Amino acid sequence: MGSRWSVRPSRGLLYDACESARKAIIIQQLGNTGLGEQRRATPRRVAILTLGCKLNQADSEAIGRQLGRNGIEVIDRPAPADAYIINTCSVTHVADRKARHLVRLVRRMAPGAPVVLTGCYVETVGADIALEAGADLALGNRDKARIADHVAALPVANALPTLDRRAAHLRTRAFVKVQEGCNDVCAFCIVPKTRGREVSEPVDAVVREVQAREAEGVQEVVLTGTQLGAYGRDAGNLRPSDVIAAVLADTSVPRIRFSSLQPQDIVPELLALWDDPRLCRHFHLALQSGSDSTLRRMRRRYTTAEYTAAAERIRAQCGDDVAITTDMIVGFPGETDDEFDESVRYCAGVGFAAMHVFPYSLRSGTTAAKMPDHVAAPVKHECMQRMLAVARESQQRYLARFTGSVTPVLWEHRERDGAWSGLTDNYIRVRAHSERNLRNVLTPARLVKVSRDGFEGDAL
């Protein structure tokens, strides 16, 4: 794969990897930059654009806080900025394409602004190839901790004025990384190569991070990682329940969401913590296929019977209103019509609150890439449509049971039509019109009418 960092020489940036001081980048202006002597200011406004998983969200938020300590304004949308950081995903070829598209987008928006590309796309294709997308600097996941210093040292032309910092930084939800890396080797997955081996954050470090976000006024914290159920495996005697229990005991943030798990992670000592109503009634429980033979080829560590048992344990602890969401892959190499039909029938019977459906994407370096009998694109497309229909029906059936009910909603932002948008603890999106400023406020809401992805409601 080559080096995890590189610089695009055509834009005149030279990087000294040996320097470990705070400003680790050495910028040398060459005659072909076309920016002349005006490049003397340092960035005042940086856009961080994030693709992919909740772990990437946590990484981007950490970079943003580091930039803020350097007095730099941070925005999280494509908009005029002095520099851009694009934190990428590479779980599928579509994610790769989105990364390249974002580089082109910000190049058109701000042709002279430096662009830093980081994340899993850089790890997957290598820094040199990543730079061909048009970025100035490419940094892998293990270099993310230094990105803020790199960007703070970049010279820019005519730095933009800062925005309203309170409006830009007020967050309703914060992502806190508790673990990174994966030691499992699922046949389809490139993540162990892009994120490395499992490493758990110390419990006290996680608690301090949550306390810091709580002090900023955050109402919900999402504890996230590459393989959350593996928390503590590298530390000997720690388990996921240990870090959750510590956060519950030593913080008072109103909502705590424990992101993604697998069926084998759903054990009694973990579920018992959901007696505390601060833990959100939402479990993202990866399935990937509803066929046992396909699961074996995928190298998943459970059967459909074990998945069903895990879902039943969750509902026994949290009630039938708990949201169980999942990921599904269709068109995995060797998947037969019978296996796919089996998967469809299984998914229809689980009662998912939401399903994320993906066509299998070949990732070089994975076992599945070398498997025989890859499914033709038209067949995968047809399978996608069938599974998406199951997903829509399942979601609508789940939502319908809440019509007319009243439940707390954490309001996040105002949409273009003036409606406030927020989430229930069991991950139902709710929209409501109100003259009040509801941003970052928890209020009861009546769920009036099922919409495509959630509810139209009334904030009470």
- Model pLDDT for residues 342-375, shown as the tens digit of each residue: 999 999 999 999 999 999 999 999 999 999 999 9
The residue from 239, 272, 305 where one domain ends is 272
Residues 199 and 316 placed together within one structural domain of the fold: no
In whole angstroms, give the CA distance from residue 124 to residue 92.
11
166 within some domain: no
What's the confidence (pLDDT) of residue 229?
A: 94
pTM of the model: 0.86
290 within some domain: yes
Residues 231 and 304 placed together within one structural domain of the fold: no
Residues 379 and 411 placed together within one structural domain of the fold: no
- DSSP string for residues in 171-182: -SEEEEEEEE--
Residues 384 and 440 placed together within one structural domain of the fold: no
451 within some domain: yes
Q: Model confidence at 22, in pLDDT bands (50, 70, 90)?
A: very low
Residues 388 and 319 placed together within one structural domain of the fold: yes
Close Cβ partners of 109 (under 8 Å, ≥ 6 residues apart): 78, 79, 80
Close Cβ partners of 408 (under 8 Å, ≥ 6 residues apart): 424, 425, 442, 443, 444, 445
Residues 141 and 203 placed together within one structural domain of the fold: no
What digits encode the pLDDT tens for the residues 274-312? 999 999 999 999 999 999 999 999 999 999 999 999 999
Residues 299 and 373 placed together within one structural domain of the fold: yes
The residue from 360, 379, 401 where one domain ends is 401
Residues 62 and 153 placed together within one structural domain of the fold: yes
3-class SS at 88? strand
What digits encode the pLDDT tens for the residues 95-145? 999 999 999 999 998 988 999 999 999 999 998 988 998 999 999 999 999
Quote the percentage of the chain above a pLDDT of 90: 78
What digits encode the pLDDT tens for the residues 198-242? 999 999 999 999 999 999 999 999 999 999 999 999 988 899 999
337 within some domain: yes
Q: Residue 417's CB: how many other CB atoms inside 10 A?
A: 7
Residues 139 and 78 placed together within one structural domain of the fold: yes
CATH number of the domain at 89, please.
3.40.50.12160
DSSP state of 288: B
Question: In total, how many domains does the chain have?
Answer: 4
Look up the domain containing 265 and give its range: 172-272
What's the confidence (pLDDT) of residue 241?
A: 97
397 within some domain: yes
256 within some domain: yes
What's the confidence (pLDDT) of residue 157?
A: 65
Residues 333 and 415 placed together within one structural domain of the fold: no
What digits encode the pLDDT tens for the residues 38-89? 445 778 899 999 999 999 999 999 999 999 988 899 999 999 999 999 999 9
Residues 95 and 118 placed together within one structural domain of the fold: yes
Q: Residue 41's CB: how many other CB atoms inside 10 A?
A: 14
162 within some domain: no
87 within some domain: yes
